[in-house]
Amino acid sequence: MTPTAKRDPAATAGLTLAALGVVYGDIGTSPLYALKEVFAPDRVPLTPDNVLGILSLVFWTLTIVVSLKYVVLILRADNNGEGGLIAMLALAAGAVRDRPVLRRRLLVLGIFGTAIFFGDGVITPAISVLSAVEGLEVAAPALHRWIVPLTLVVLTVLFAAQRFGTGIVGRFFGPVTLAWFAVLALLGLPHVAAHPQVLVALLPHHALGFLVAHPGTAFVALGAVVLCVTGAEALYADLGHFGKRPIRIAWFGVVLPALVINYFGQGAMLLQRPENVRNPFYEMAPEWALFPLIALATLATVIASQALITAAFSVTKQAIQLGYLPRLRIDHTSVRETGQVYVPFVNWALYGCVVFAVVVFGSSGALASAYGIAVTIDMTITTVMTFFVIRYAWRLPPVLCVAATGTFFVVDVTFLAANVVKVLEGGWFPLVIGAAMFTLMATWKQGRALLAERLRDEAIDLPSFIESIFVSPPQRVPGTAVFLHAERGATPFALLHNLKHNKVLHEQNLFVTVVQHEVPWIGFERRMQVEPLGHDCWQVLLNFGFKNDPDVPEALKLLAQHGVQLDDMETSYFLSRDSVAPALRARGGRGMARWREKLFASMHRNAAAAADFLNLPANRIVELGTKVEL
């Protein structure tokens, strides 16, 4: 897609328009609440100097964090054309593969960032839709009591519609978001034209002067200023969908100018009418435009929320395939786009948390305290990962690496510190969600490692076992048996049980191990490795990237290149379904706490069937159970 876009201006224009809706929906709705939160009571006093200082901070935050950090630097760190925190984690972990201690720490850091992302996935729909619907109390104050109920209705419809996929709705994302950015600029322009003195805030000395003159106030303000860059992670996360060029064109050509004009328009209006500080975004609009603007804002926030919900599905799928989450039911909502997926469990879990956030916090102002901390944690982790990528993968000089990421790290940590002080005001909420997700992911990863260790302890070497059974060969039956086993070179328990109970062996036997790699895509030319074991038996290794859909029957068609012919109707798939139980007594070594063993056993028991995950035909599957004690 990206190479075509580079050659074809029409394709570039189409991708740029699509990127507006998917990539910039979140950051594009931040003018609804960012300045309102900066000048909220008990934060920053509304004075002319403070307005210019805040506008300068907003402009230079957009410039440093988004333009320089994400658009210029981080978009270069693509993992085979893919972006996002998991892709960055895979790049960084691969770059320090020869440093195991550092690699483990980076993996923990990256998985924690991924866990925190789910907290962001809860806050974004809640604060975005709430902030849009709150325009009703500007247009008609008597409607205040309907804000939360209407927000819940909009969110319920949004989450209920997820099962139909985003393909049809997605076609309208770009045009609607383009209209939204046009409206942002049109709202701000008259106010900037009427008070052009606000343009002096483009000079950095206003931001620096504000920081130096009022350090305490400025520190509090930074906790709200960071709201203007919420959604910046989406630039990198959606790299694989659109490519660098359309994302950069959309940012510099449409998004950045519209945001700056709107923020400066709000500032110009506040200089003239400070009483409008309760909701400066909606107060900019003429009275006749309020209800249409509320409708458009609500639609824009739904699009922003949709993009993040879709990202949550994608991240979940990638985490499952990297072994950090148990298998979940994943529905493909498009026959042409493999990236369009729907994960029912994640959808309704997110919905429950979003409803909780809306009901408990009740306003975008209360949610703003919860929002910043999740965003700044992920921004900081991305900067740390970027350092290790450019130092160890790109092998740039250490001084250049520190210079390239050090400034961003200082900015990120400053914003993070300004938000940490708001933990008790609401920042605890995404941290609780992130901690819960991190516990689940770490427990699943360690539990799978312990399970594999236990199975290895009891395993029999496969080549030796094959030779031993042909000393006195069992009866052979027509067809092909495919034995799925996690450990290459070990004898599958399903084979042992089949021989024990059925006392037969198929004419052809394939011992297949599926391996998920820390790269997004693996092509068909590297999909398969085959090792003959004799007696019409083969050991097969299937390689998939974390964005590939594991399809074992499709991959096994490549065996024809190795002289192995399969008849679909004569092929049976044998799986061992492990039943996990916590250890009855304490074990030495790398065991887990008993509560984590019970948690892992529950996750393992409720995981979706491996047959569905590997796309095995339901009418040709044989499952044989095995009980394993951790």
Per-residue model confidence as pLDDT tens digits over 456-488:
777 788 899 998 988 888 899 999 999 998 888
Residue of 577 and 386 predicted with greater confidence: 386
Report residue 14's pLDDT band, with 50, 70 and 90 as the boundaries: confident
Mean per-residue pLDDT, 349-356:
94
- Residue for token pair 């910046």: 232
Residues in the chain, total: 630
pLDDT at 406: 93
Cα–Cα nearest to 152, from 133, 173, 177: 133
- Tokens standing for residue 275: 């009483």
Residue of 83 and 253 predicted with greater confidence: 253
DSSP bridge partners of 579: 627
Under DSSP, the state recorded for 39 is T
Whole-angstrom distance, CA of residue 297 vs CA of residue 153 = 16
Cβ pair 408, 232 in contact under 8 A? no
pLDDT at 342: 84
Examine the pLDDT at 262 and tell me if it is beyond 60: yes
Which residues, in sequence order, are CB contacts of 313 under 8 Å at separation 6+? 330, 341, 342, 343, 346, 347
Mean per-residue pLDDT, 186-201:
95
Choose the weakest-confidence range: 56-65, 227-236, 576-585.
Answer: 576-585
The angle subtended at Cα 339 by Cα 574 and Cα 127, nearest 5°, is: 120
Examine the pLDDT at 272 and tell me if it is beyond 50: yes
DSSP bridge partners of 483: 511, 574
Report residue 334's pLDDT band, with 50, 70 and 90 as the boundaries: low
Choose the weakest-confidence range: 19-33, 321-335, 351-365, 519-533.
Answer: 321-335
Choose the weakest-confidence range: 49-53, 67-71, 338-342, 418-422.
Answer: 338-342
- Residue for token pair 């960084």: 92
pLDDT at 169: 54
The chain-wide mean pLDDT, for the chain, equals 87
Report residue 333's pLDDT band, with 50, 70 and 90 as the boundaries: low
- Residue for token pair 């849009």: 132
Examine the pLDDT at 4 and tell me if it is beyond 50: no
pLDDT at 13: 85
Whole-angstrom distance, CA of residue 552 vs CA of residue 437 = 29
- Tokens standing for residue 419: 């938000």
Q: pLDDT, tens digit, for every residue of 101-113? A: 999 999 899 899 8
Mean per-residue pLDDT, 22-28:
86
User: What's the predicted TM-score (pTM) here?
Assistant: 0.83
Examine the pLDDT at 166 and tell me if it is beyond 80: no
Examine the pLDDT at 497 and tell me if it is beyond 90: no
